[in-house]
Amino acid sequence: MEIPPAHYPATRAAAVAVNYINYQHGSPSKIFMVQKVTKASREDNAINCTAEILCHVGNQHTAPQVHFTVEGELGKNTDEADNKFYNRIKSLQEPLVAQNIPDNYGNISPEMEPISHLARMACGYIIWQNSTENTLYNLVQIRDVRQVKRNDDYLEFDYTVLLHDIVSQEIIPWQMQVLWHPQHGIKVIKNSCQPKHAEQD
């Protein structure tokens, strides 16, 4: 059955798809965003890719199944930029600490862009795992991020982010611990929804 592309069922499904793709294929130097849903149906959600989103009706604790195919390549090769970012963070004398990305005016400094992209990739996992037909999550802001020093080759970051559920209009603080390596990709090792009052702290 055809769905009007601008209607919520289509935009919600597209949001799940793009967050899943970000978690699977994003990098600190490359992130994917939904520009426009051009066609949607109950079977397919087609933009630059075709995605099938299977939501588990009645089970709020099971992540949607996402199957997608992409026409062509998933953007530019970012190996060089990713390695440059990796080496910069690895060489820091003091662990990276930052707050409020973007700031209250929507600005992100160039050196924080890869940190922001990593958060968006990790949120791709959180949003994918927690989405239903009745949610539409969006990353609003990184409240704070702290690098955790490790003895192996991975970079580790502890994030607190604010997610906006556009359907309920709730702002939800979420904590997530993230590992990343340019050759092995991203892994969310721990995450938890925080009490709402944490947003006011």
Collapsing DSSP states into helix, strand and coil, what is residue 178?
Answer: strand
Query: CB under 8 Å to 91, separation ≥6 — which residues?
Result: none
Q: What per-residue confidence (pLDDT) applies to 60?
A: 66
Q: What per-residue confidence (pLDDT) applies to 3?
A: 72
pTM of the full predicted structure?
0.73
Q: What per-residue confidence (pLDDT) applies to 149?
A: 93
Can you state the angle between helices 113-130 and 8-25, rounded to 10 degrees?
120
pLDDT tens for 99-146 read 999 998 889 999 999 999 999 999 999 999 998 888 889 999 999 999
Domain ranges of the chain: 2-200
Lowest mean pLDDT among 69-78, 97-106, 142-151: 69-78
E runs forming strands in the chain: 2-3, 39-41, 45-46, 49-54, 65-70, 97-101, 137-148, 155-165, 170-181, 185-193
- Positive or negative, the CA dihedral 139, 141, 143, 146 is positive
Q: What per-residue confidence (pLDDT) applies to 147?
A: 97
Q: What per-residue confidence (pLDDT) applies to 43?
A: 55
Q: What confidence category does residue 6 fall into, taking pLDDT thresholds of 50, 70 and 90?
A: confident
With beta carbons less than 8 A apart as the criterion, state whether 130 and 59 touch: no
Q: What confidence category does residue 75 fall into, taking pLDDT thresholds of 50, 70 and 90?
A: low
- Provide φ and ψ at 57, rounded to 5°: -65, 130
| CATH assignment of 2-200, among 3.30.450.20, 3.10.450.10, 3.20.20.10, 1.10.1760.20 | 3.10.450.10
Identify the top-confidence range among 52-66, 67-81, 88-102.
88-102
Cα 46 to Cα 5, 14, 41, 89, 130, distances in angstroms: 10, 8, 8, 37, 22
Q: What confidence category does residue 57 fall into, taking pLDDT thresholds of 50, 70 and 90?
A: confident
Give the HSE-up count for residue 174: Cα atoms under 13 Å, Cβ half-sphere.
28
